[in-house]
Structure 1
């Protein structure tokens, strides 16, 4: 195995562990859904954001998810990804109140429609999680 292949495998392993810890089943579903259409893109997602960025030491996972939730809400067109990262925020220790406050903050910088869309996405995630925990 070449050094480049070894480095790529280490990035993938590091990324897969981070993805599992942060996104849990939701992250695995995203990767699985790409397997038949864009398996290389699925690998890039595991290696770059999760293997390289999420594992950096500059921010903890809670801080990274706050930034991610804010960015996705501000985009206004990434509801599916926003829901995954709201769930991820809960997985890494953000409270529902913290997530709601991040989304309310987006009204100032991204507008009320983006904040509303984010809050409705959060409401769906919170409800689904409550059902899972009740089962």
Structure 2
């Protein structure tokens, strides 16, 4: 629930984060509460409230781009894992995610793609574990 003093950007950001990342996104925001609550606000307002909420690309396309970028960067495995989960949440299949990561071998090199594939395996395994736990 939004607070009366929250900006439209923050409200949009909270809504987008919930739709895209669900519980994983809330864990990131909560983890910042004791060290950098302002950063959590910036994270909600700019990427989610401003960028993810823009018209022009659907969430599936945005997550495709994000997974590709994080794979190519090769320096953000925790964020890549969150966005692989988000990709699954917005309709990407495991096969599509694997193909997106493999495509990055052409542009970012085999090490980046290998690392991305290993992160994908972790994300897929964690999702399977959560599905088994909830049944």
Alpha-carbon distance in 2 for matches of 1:131, 1:84: 15
RMSD (CA atoms)? 1.2
Deviations, residues 5-42 of structure 1 (Å, cap 9, x unaligned) = 97x61110110010011001111011111111111110
Superposition pairs of residues 14-29 of structure 1, within 5 angstroms: 14-29=12-27
Q: How many residues align?
A: 130
Residue number in structure 2 paired with 1:112: 110
Deviations, residues 41-94 of structure 1 (Å, cap 9, x unaligned) = 100000000000001111000000000000000000100000000000000000
- The alignment's TM-score, normalised by the length of structure 2, stands at 0.93
Alpha-carbon distance in 2 for matches of 1:89, 1:66: 7
Runs of 4+ with deviation above 4 angstroms? none
Residue number in structure 2 paired with 1:74: 72
* Structure 2 residue 58 is the aligned partner of structure 1 residue 60: yes
Unaligned runs of 5+ in 2: none
Unaligned runs of 5+ in 1: none
**1:96 maps to which of 59, 72, 94:** 94
